[in-house]
């Protein structure tokens, strides 16, 4: 249990006797919240839902015997923002705004609007309940599974926010079986998320059907991290750490591992070899870069704009090679790019080669392999001199070819220390797959999975 205090813009640090009662009440509220966090144990992930959290807040009153407050529970809706809800519950508009502003300053709740359905509990001075507006003493809100915020009124009427953060412990879950409808449905049914399904599908890029849900009867086996609190209550799902697939067009198994030297997390086959890079950053070899990716002043117009690729300096006529296997989707001329070629690759990637002097006899629709010569460096289109303008897009968005994370193709088996560490991690994951997780397989559609073949 950690408690982080975030102060409001204005905090009265002087401690005056006549404010003693409010300080005591505020302290009791904070202590009560801490006790609540320690003693309230949700039984299921579902019980973390806001309605139950609100119910739990009721119990918390018992932990603050000296505070004469009354609490009222409301819920943020599409039509009613948090401040509106507080007003409906009885707070003055001024107090409601001040409390919500303080909560927003934590950065843990949406700056514009809190998520509809978020429950909040308002604590009022009991003696003011019959007044037109009740005196707001504190507001508690649970914007997500990890955090509980408590805004308490200070001596100067500003609100001070305490953030209670559950300390998380990483545990693992396994989902394995045969696809009944789709892979995401199968993983979600076993406690995973659609993101886990997407991460699994990305490990089998040659299987286009898998990225759209896979086919009935195909076998999958996934282990993913789960964040729990210190008593084993589910808080949130984490990363995929193992994925095996045995389907119509592809099969294999991948273990997530972070080599100690590079610190770069990647998936490795059971033999310790990472996926091979399917694109290169250097379609004309390691030549000098004239201009990198990002915002720059255009050399011709002088305007600041996004430079959507990398400019490689090379003499006219230098051969340009395909950055990876793919299909030519365009080979022609346009004003800016000049003579250029676009190639569609797997995993949603596309590359573009601009300002070419000529093509190597390729047209749209042609299949190319990594390293095939596409054409030659030139200065057609908007170019100040001979260079290759090289772009990579992922799912239609420009990415920086130099910082793009591509599979390394690294072979851990040739590095004894790393390989030993990798095998320890693999053994841990295989143990998780072997037993201790049978509760994940109770649904009738989950059948035991045979040991998948290596990639
Ligand atoms: Zn360029």
Q: How far is ligand 1, taken at its centre, from the CA of residue 407, in Å? A: 25
Mean pLDDT along residues 20-30: 53
| Contacts of residue 14, Cβ cutoff 8 Å, sequence gap at least 6 | 155
Q: How far is ligand 1, taken at its centre, from the CA of residue 337, in Å? A: 9
Pair 123, 137: CB distance under 8 Å: yes
Pair 75, 50: CB distance under 8 Å: yes
Sheet order of strands, 356-359 included: 319-321, 373-377, 356-359
Host H or E run for residue 286: none
pLDDT digits (tens, 9 = 90+) for 332-379: 999 999 999 999 998 889 999 999 999 999 999 999 999 999 999 999
Q: Which domains does the chain have, with CATH numbers?
A: 2-165 (3.10.450.350), 169-276+415-441 (3.10.450.350), 289-399 (2.70.70.10)
pLDDT digits (tens, 9 = 90+) for 56-72: 444 444 434 345 788 88
pLDDT (0 to 100) of residue 65: 33
Q: How far is ligand 1, taken at its centre, from the CA of residue 297, in Å? A: 11
CA dihedral 104→148→155→123, nearest 10 degrees, is 110
Q: How far is ligand 1, taken at its centre, from the CA of residue 291, in Å? A: 7
Q: Is 436's pLDDT higher than 60?
A: no
pLDDT (0 to 100) of residue 311: 95
Q: Please indicate whether residue 447 or residue 264 has the higher confidence score (pLDDT).
A: 264
Q: Give long-range contacts, CB 8 A cutoff, 24+ apart: 113-117.
A: 113/76, 113/81, 114/76, 114/81, 114/82, 114/141, 114/143, 115/76, 115/143, 116/76, 116/77, 116/78, 117/50, 117/75, 117/76, 117/77
Which is nearest to 392 in space by CA: 334, 347, 335? 347
Who surrounds ion ligand 1 at CB < 5 A? Answer: 311, 389
pLDDT (0 to 100) of residue 312: 95
Which is nearest to 242 in space by CA: 174, 184, 191, 193? 174
Distance, in Å, from the CA atom of 170 to the CA atom of 160, rounded to the nearest integer, reads 31
Pair 377, 399: CB distance under 8 Å: no
* Average of per-residue pLDDT values in the chain: 81
Q: Is 444's pLDDT higher than 70?
A: no
Pair 223, 241: CB distance under 8 Å: yes
pLDDT (0 to 100) of residue 449: 34
Distance, in Å, from the CA atom of 318 to the CA atom of 328, rounded to the nearest integer, reads 20
Q: How far is ligand 1, taken at its centre, from the CA of residue 309, in Å? A: 6
Any idea what the Cα angle at residue 226 is, between residues 220 and 230, rounded to 5°? 155
Q: How far is ligand 1, taken at its centre, from the CA of residue 384, in Å? A: 10
pLDDT digits (tens, 9 = 90+) for 84-123: 999 999 999 999 999 999 998 988 887 666 778 888 899 9
Q: How far is ligand 1, taken at its centre, from the CA of residue 400, in Å? A: 12
Which is nearest to 256 in space by CA: 247, 248, 264, 265? 265
Q: How far is ligand 1, taken at its centre, from the CA of residue 70, in Å? A: 65
Cβ atoms < 10 Å from Cβ of 146: 18
Residue with tokens 């793009």: 404
Distance, in Å, from the CA atom of 326 to the CA atom of 374, rounded to the nearest integer, reads 12
Pair 323, 280: CB distance under 8 Å: yes
Helix axes 93-104, 82-89, angle to 10 degrees: 140
């Amino acid at each position: 249990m950690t408690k982080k205090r975030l102060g409001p813009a204005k905090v009265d640090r002087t401690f005056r006797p006549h404010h003693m009662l409010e300080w005591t009440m505020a302290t009791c509220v904070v202590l009560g919240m801490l006790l609540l966090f320690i003693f309230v144990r949700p039984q299921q992930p579902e019980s973390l839902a806001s309605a139950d959290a609100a119910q739990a807040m009721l119990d918390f009153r018992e932990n603050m015997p000296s505070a004469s407050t009354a609490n009222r529970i409301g819920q943020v809706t599409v039509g009613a923002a948090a401040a509106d809800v507080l007003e409906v519950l009885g707070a003055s508009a001024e107090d409601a705004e001040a409390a919500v502003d303080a909560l927003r300053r934590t950065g843990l709740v949406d700056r514009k609007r809190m998520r509809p359905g978020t429950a909040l509990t308002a604590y009022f001075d009991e003696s003011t309940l019959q007044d037109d507006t009740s005196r707001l003493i504190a507001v508690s809100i649970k914007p997500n599974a990890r955090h509980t915020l408590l805004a308490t009124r200070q001596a100067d009427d500003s609100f001070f926010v305490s953030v209670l953060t559950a300390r998380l412990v990483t545990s693992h879950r396994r989902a394995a079986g045969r696809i009944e409808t789709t892979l995401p449905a199968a993983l979600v049914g076993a406690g995973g998320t659609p993101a886990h399904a997407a991460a699994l599908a990305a490990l089998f890029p040659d299987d286009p059907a898998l990225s759209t849900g896979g086919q009935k009867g195909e076998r999958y086996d996934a282990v993913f991290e789960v964040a729990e609190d210190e008593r084993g209550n589910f808080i949130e799902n984490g990363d995929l750490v193992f994925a095996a697939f045995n389907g119509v067009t592809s099969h294999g198994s991948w273990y997530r591992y972070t080599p100690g030297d590079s610190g770069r997390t990647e998936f490795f086959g059971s033999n310790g070899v990472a996926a091979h890079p399917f694109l290169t950053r250097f379609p004309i070899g390691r030549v000098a870069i004239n201009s990198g990716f990002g915002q720059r002043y255009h050399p011709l117009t002088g305007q600041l704009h996004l430079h959507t690729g990398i400019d490689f300096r090379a003499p006219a006529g230098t051969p340009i090679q395909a950055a990876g296997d793919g299909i030519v989707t365009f080979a022609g001329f346009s004003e800016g790019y000049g003579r250029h070629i676009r190639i569609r690759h797997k995993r949603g990637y596309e590359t573009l080669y601009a300002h070419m002097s000529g093509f190597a006899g390729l047209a749209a629709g042609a299949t190319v392999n990594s390293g095939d010569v596409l054409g030659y460096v030139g200065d057609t289109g908007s170019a100040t001199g001979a260079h290759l303008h090289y772009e990579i897009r992922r799912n239609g968005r420009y990415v920086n070819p130099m910082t793009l994370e591509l599979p390394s193709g690294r072979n851990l088996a040739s590095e004894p220390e790393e390989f030993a560490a990798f095998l320890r991690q693999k053994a841990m994951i295989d143990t998780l797959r072997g037993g201790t997780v049978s509760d994940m397989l109770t649904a009738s559609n989950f059948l035991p999975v045979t040991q998948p073949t290596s990639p």
